[in-house]
Every structure is written in structure tokens, then in C-alpha cells.
Amino acid sequence: MRQIFVSDLHLQNERPDLVRAFLHFLDTDARRADQLYLLGDIFEAWIGDDAPFPGTEPIIAALRNLSDDGVALFFQHGNRDFLVGEQFAEEAGCTLLDDSTVITSADNRPLLLMHGDQLCTDDVEYQKLRVMLRNPMFQQNILAQTVEQRLTMAQQLRDASKEQGSQKSMAIMDVNAEAVTQALVSAETALLLHGHTHRPAVHKLQLPDNTAAQRIVLGDWDHKGWYLEWNDNGFQLIDFNIEGYAD
């Protein structure tokens, strides 16, 4: 049994190197897995399954191909691609996961999967925005708008997030320790895997009942790419060079 996890690729038209790296990844490392988990912000922006950004087709086709060849694909929403829906899932051969999902790791332990944005509770402003963006009624309203209107809104959200991000401290942008503990306790697990913060690491912590727990953080794809591989012997956080994928 071999599981692979990735998040925060932020695939976009402006970064053909990342798209190439991901397509290569899907055709090599991911192909050797039994399960591939896409844990959010795979796409820099997503304004609806009816309007995928230019250049998405080969990605969807490659995912579909992998799924047809027997790799089970799972997709969890990030704060950028929260509008990914059933149509995408069907086309790409993925199963959509809830924002908090407990799976069984390859070495047979309960493992909590999250994108991670919901753990950044010190960022009160963002958590308020998140409640609105994740509201099904609000999403229906967005999806009913024209593609142009949605593109404008997506750009505004990105600009606002960049502007606020530059003003917020590194601590506010990271996960809140209490939120992490709470998530683990309520999921009854001692293992959490998430992305979002772009701070790849394996953290040790202790739960209130003194259980030793671990929080594994995936890295984002930029100059380097990251994935987590989990097999019968445990897990390994792996990075590789993206530089080779420039033209």
C-alpha cells in the first residue's frame, strides 16, 4: 500500500513550469501509488467547473488517465479552489473529500486530512470571509454569474488576500495550536496532515491525554515541489526541483 499526498501547487497559466512538473509527477511518482490525495489549492483559482482556466484540460485528462489505470484519486478543497465541484470530480475521476476527513494511513493508523486554512484561527478576518465563501447559497450565487463577473471577483479576492497577507504577521498566518489540538481530539486521531501554510515540516505535539501526536505539513510548489509518501513503513516528506521544468 502506497499513498501520496500533495497540496498547494497553485497551478495557473502563468506558471507552465508547475503544470509541466505536475503532469510529469502524475506520470511517474503518482502512478506508482495506490491512492493520490490532492489536499487543496491545487489550482491558484477556480471559478466553477464550467469555466476551468486555460490549460486545465491536460491536467484533467492526466488525472482521469491515472484514475482509469487504477490509482484512487481524492480531492479536498483549498481556500483558492473551493469552487471545485462534482463535474470536475467526475471528469478527473476524483472523489471529493470533506474539509475534515479521517482516513487510514498506509501503515494502518487513523490520519486526519485538512487543507489547513480552517486551523488558522488567529486570522479572524479570514475566518469570517471563509464562512461566507463556503456558504452553499453564496456559492450558488457566484456560480450563477457570468464568467467575466466571476473572474473579476476571483481577482479581487486574490488582490485582497495578497494585500492583507503582507500586513499580517507570520504568526497570525500560521495554524493555531489550540485549533490543531481540538481538531485531533474531535477526530480521535494523533496524526494530522495539512498544507496551506507553505511551511513543510513534521511537528511533534502532545494531546491533553498525553498521547504523542504528529502534525505533518506539506510544502507548496514553487522553486521546489513537495509530496508526502506513506507506505507500510511510515511516511516521508519529499521535495524535488522545479527548475528543470522551465522551457
Positions in the binding site for Mn ion (CB under 5 A): 41, 78-79, 196
Establish how many alpha carbons lie within 13 A of residue 246's alpha carbon, considering only the half-sphere containing its beta carbon: 6
Query: Rounded to the nearest whole angstrom, what is the least distance from the CB of residue 220 to Mn ion in the complex?
Result: 8
- Distance (Å, rounded) from C-alpha 2 to C-alpha 106? 6
Query: Rounded to the nearest whole angstrom, what is the least distance from the CB of residue 162 to Mn ion in the complex?
Result: 13
Over the range 15-29, which residues count as b (16 or more CB within 10 Å of their CB) and which as e? bebbbbbbbbbbeeb
Q: Residue 41 or 122: which CB sits closer to Mn ion?
A: 41
Query: Rounded to the nearest whole angstrom, what is the least distance from the CB of residue 146 to Mn ion in the complex?
Result: 26
Q: Residue 82 or 230: which CB sits closer to Mn ion?
A: 82
Query: Rounded to the nearest whole angstrom, what is the least distance from the CB of residue 6 to Mn ion in the complex?
Result: 13
What value does the CA radius of gyration of the chain take, rounded to a whole number of Å?
Answer: 18
Nearest-CB residue to Mn ion?
196
Residue with C-alpha cell 494511513?
A: 105
Q: Residue 150 or 196: which CB sits closer to Mn ion?
A: 196
Q: Residue 65 or 176: which CB sits closer to Mn ion?
A: 176
Query: Rounded to the nearest whole angstrom, what is the least distance from the CB of residue 153 to Mn ion in the complex?
Result: 18
Q: Residue 3 or 79: which CB sits closer to Mn ion?
A: 79
DSSP secondary structure of 111-155: EEE--SGGG-TT-HHHHHHHHHHT-HHHHHHHHTS-HHHHHHHHH
